[in-house]
Amino acid sequence: MGNGVIMRYLSIRNADSLYWVGRYLQRFEIVAKESLKSFDFIIDINFDDGKELFAKMEYNVSYSSAKDFLHKISKDLDNGGLLYNIKHARENAIVLRDIIDDDAFSSINIIYNELILSDTIDPQKLEYLIKELDRFWGLVFFKIVRGKTQAFIEFGQVTEAIDLKLRLFGDFSMILFDLEKLNTLGKILDKDYIPVELRSSDIDTFLDIINSKISSVIKYDS
């Protein structure tokens, strides 16, 4: 409080943006990695692999070749493609520039600039962008002193990981570790947090619960 001591407080808006930075970046990462796998399949194993992948995320994509697939997914600004996700991550990060590490912000910005300025996106370029994202995660999470800033990003990241893994693979055993992590983070952010238990076998119902957990951590109506 004032007079000589630096203390930074997280507003409702800050916490919400941190959460969404984590979600959009996690979605970017999973979509990028799965798109690289599909790229390989499209070449000579299953031409429709890309369509099948994105249908699970409720996106329609059409392409004429593996290269065309990767390009469209990378440049897509409207339907949940890579540019869409990084743009939204960046918008949230911009309003957090007073809070997040400068180098971490620059990683998001570099990915965005590369995607928006490059004429073509090939697998090597995409791999480079994924490495840049790794740099972001490293800069944010591997700090000696960690605080709620990181915890909110991580809460968003793990929420998205659960969401996408269940949508893409439909296998609850793949999210056990993520769920444990989500509950640990929830407790760090809110002492009254009620952990999510893996009871339902209905994915949609379970995802509704997971996706609404942030509302119990951030007191939006206060």
Partner 1 sequence: MVQNSEEFDRFLNIFNQLNKSKFEQLQSFMDDFAINFNLFKDGSFLERSFPFDMIPRIIPKNEFELVEKGLKQRVHALNEFLNDIYGDQKIIKDGIIPAEFIFSSKAYNPAFHGQKVSKNIRTHICGIDLVQNSVNNKWTILEDNLRVPSGASYPLSIRQAYRKVYPEIFEQMKVEKIRYYPNKLKEMMDYVSTGGINIVLTPGRYNSAFYEHAYLAKQTGSTLAISSDLEVMGDKLYLKGYNGKKIQVGAIYRRLDDDFLDPLEFDPKSLIGVPGLINVYRSGNVAIINSVGNGIADDKGIYYFVPQMIKYYLGEDAILDNAPTYLPYFPKDLEYVLANMDKLVIKDVAEAGGYGVLFGYKMTKTEIEDLKKIIIEQPRRFIAQELIEFYDIDCLFDGKLTPRKSDLRCYVVYGEEIYVWPGGLTRYALEEGNYLVNSSQGGGFKDTWVMG
Q: Which residues bind partner 1 (CB under 8 A)?
A: 1-4, 6-16, 91, 94-95, 97-99, 102, 105-106, 109-110, 113, 189-190, 217-219, 222
In the bound state with partner 1, the residue whose beta carbon lies nearer, of 62 and 222, is 222
Minimum distance, C-beta of residue 65 to partner 1, in the bound complex (Å): 32
Minimum distance, C-beta of residue 8 to partner 1, in the bound complex (Å): 6
Three-class DSSP category at 218: coil
Residues near 186 by beta carbon (within 8 Å), at least 6 away in sequence: 155, 193, 195, 213, 216, 217
Minimum distance, C-beta of residue 99 to partner 1, in the bound complex (Å): 7
In the bound state with partner 1, the residue whose beta carbon lies nearer, of 106 and 211, is 106
Structure tokens given for 31: 């979509």
Q: What angle do CA 20, 26, 31 make, to 5 degrees?
A: 125
* 36 vs 122: CA distance, rounded Å: 10
Residues 146 and 139 sit within 8 Å (Cβ to Cβ): no
Structure tokens given for 135: 């740099």
Minimum distance, C-beta of residue 12 to partner 1, in the bound complex (Å): 5
In the bound state with partner 1, the residue whose beta carbon lies nearer, of 55 and 116, is 116
Minimum distance, C-beta of residue 82 to partner 1, in the bound complex (Å): 19
Q: What angle do CA 28, 220, 152 make, to 5 degrees?
A: 40
In the bound state with partner 1, the residue whose beta carbon lies nearer, of 24 and 105, is 105
Residue 76 region by backbone torsions, left for phi larger than 0, else alpha for psi between -120 and 50, else beta:
beta
In the bound state with partner 1, the residue whose beta carbon lies nearer, of 109 and 211, is 109
